[in-house]
Amino acid sequence: MDINFYRELFKLLDLEEEDTEYGKQIEWPSLGTLNDGYLDSLADFLELDRDDYTKEGFLEVLRKRHIPEGLMESTDPRYPYPD
């Protein structure tokens, strides 16, 4: 994944830097806690049809696509991308 992917994802999930930055780490929301609106947006972003999956199946696909959740190291706390 390149930095633009993470920047777009950060915007898509309406994350605020002051709510997610912890030094050199970014706190991404748990995928299981996202509401259907955000999951639909992620499906569109990744060009997936959510109707093809159960909710659990869709979350599994997101994890396999390396959609971040939880703490993630960042070389620059302004942008959510890994070292």
Which residues are within 8 A (CB) of 67 and not within 5 positions of it... i.e. 6 or more apart?
9, 31, 42
pLDDT, mean of residues 26-55: 92
Is the model more confident about 81 or about 74? 74
pLDDT for 74 equals 64
Mean pLDDT, to the nearest integer, of 26-49?
A: 91
| Integer CA distances (angstroms), 47 to 4, 20, 53, 65, 79, in order | 16, 26, 13, 12, 23
- pTM of the predicted model as reported, rounded to 2 decimal places: 0.72
Instruction: Please give the pLDDT value at position 68.
Output: 87
Could you tell me the residue ranges of all domains in the chain?
3-73
User: Is the pLDDT score of 61 beyond 70?
Assistant: yes
